[in-house]
Each structure stands twice: as structure tokens, then as C-alpha cells.
A and B are shown apart, each in its own frame.
Chain A
Amino acid sequence: DTEVTQTPKHLVMGMTNKKSLKCEQHMGHRAMYWYKQKAKKPPELMFVYSYEKLSINESVPSRFSPECPNSSLLNLHLHALQPEDSALYLCASSQEPGQGYSPLHFGNGTRLTVT
């Protein structure tokens, strides 16, 4: 069982819809991440939150809007997405931010399809 919980597991949305992806961890980790993975490609970093503050935004289009309401929760708000945004979205957490020796703990991901 994963200690990082992502909902929903699958999401199909139209280009005019607004939806949110949710991620939760209760390990007391202070860093949380959003990654995007398309088929046959490596996971690509989108956002990093350190101590509930956005520390890295990898030039992600504004149609993706992250939010960290508290130390356990991470949301990704989606609006006006394009079909090419269809991908697996992975949430992860690590004990401390900015320390490469902390392994990432991943959720199972949300499979997003934009129609």
C-alpha cells in the first residue's frame, strides 16, 4: 500500500472543464512534488513545494495551478487543458526539501485524458 494517496485514479475531462487532482501524505514530509509522465518518457518535474511554499515551477503553463493548503495536502487545479496534456500525473513527497539523499515516495498517479 502506498503512503501517498492520489485521487482520482482516472479522470476524463473536456477542454472547457475545470477539475482538480488531489494528493495526501501523512508521513510528516516537508516537500511535495507534481510530476507528469507521458508514455515511453521519463517523469518530468512540474512543481515542488517546500514547507508549503512553491519553490520550483518548471515553466508549466498557467492552465495547471498547484496549491498546497497544508503540509499534508497538495492539489493540482486544471482548467482549459489541451489533448496533449493527457498523461499520468504523479504526486510524490520527501522528508526534507532540497536534499537529494531523501528518496521520493510516490502515489499511484492519476491517469488524465483530455478530450
Chain B
Amino acid sequence: ILNVEQSPQSLHVQEGDSTNFTCSFPSSNFYALHWYRWETAKSPEALFVMTLNGDEKKKGRISATLNTKEGYSYLYIKGSQPEDSATYLCASYILTGGGNKLTFGTGTQLKVEL
């Protein structure tokens, strides 16, 4: 994998459903994996920064896991609420000779319906 890829592109769930999305990233020269939530008309907000293989982070009903060896991270939302509707972006921080930088995926757009 050369780029950061996210799936699915979009997701519609009912209130109360639990859901998860995937972020795939290059596993070589990996340094950190970021998750952001981006609500409409607002700025992207950092959810998690993960660096170690096997890391698990939790913030309320949202949690994330990291597998740096195989290059993927999962984001889980338990008991989705309408306020969880947003685009969820992951970004991989890679160490390169040209400058270390954060590369974003295209995001997963989540819509939680009543």
C-alpha cells in the first residue's frame, strides 16, 4: 500500500447501532497514526494519535486499534448517536528523507439516522 486508504467511503446506520471503519496505510517508515472527526461547517478535530503496534485508545463511545506490522487501524463507535454524524479521517505520519509528513485518507462519511 502506497497511500492511506479508508473504507467504506460512506455509511448510514441507525441510532444505537455500533459500527466500525478501516484505515490502511504503508507499514514501512511508519511513525504515527492519527484519527480526526470532521463535522460539517466545523474544523477537523483530533480524536486519537497512536504510535505503538497493538495500541488501543478510547474516548467515550469511540475507540481505535492499531496494527503497524500489517498497516491498518480500526475505528469503532458503540451505540451511534446522531451527533456522531461526521467524516472520519485517518492520517499516517511517515518518516521520509524529504521531510516527515502526515498523509490523509479520503475519509469515511458517517450518517446516523433516528
A→B interface (CB under 8 Å):
2, 4, 40-45, 48, 55-56, 58, 90, 98, 100-109
A48 touches B101 (CB 8 A): yes
B102 touches A2 (CB 8 A): no
Q: Mark B87-114, 1 if CB is under 8 A from A, else 0.
A: 0010001000011111111110000000
In angstroms, Cα B34 to Cα A106, docked, is 13
A100 touches B32 (CB 8 A): yes
Chain A, Cβ-Cβ closest to B31: A100
A105 touches B4 (CB 8 A): no
Chain A, Cβ-Cβ closest to B42: A108
User: Could you list some 25 contacts between A and B, CB below 8 A?
Assistant: A2-B42, A2-B43, A41-B106, A42-B103, A42-B105, A42-B106, A42-B107, A43-B89, A43-B104, A44-B104, A45-B103, A48-B101, A56-B101, A58-B101, A98-B100, A100-B34, A100-B51, A100-B100, A101-B32, A101-B51, A103-B46, A104-B34, A104-B36, A106-B45, A108-B43
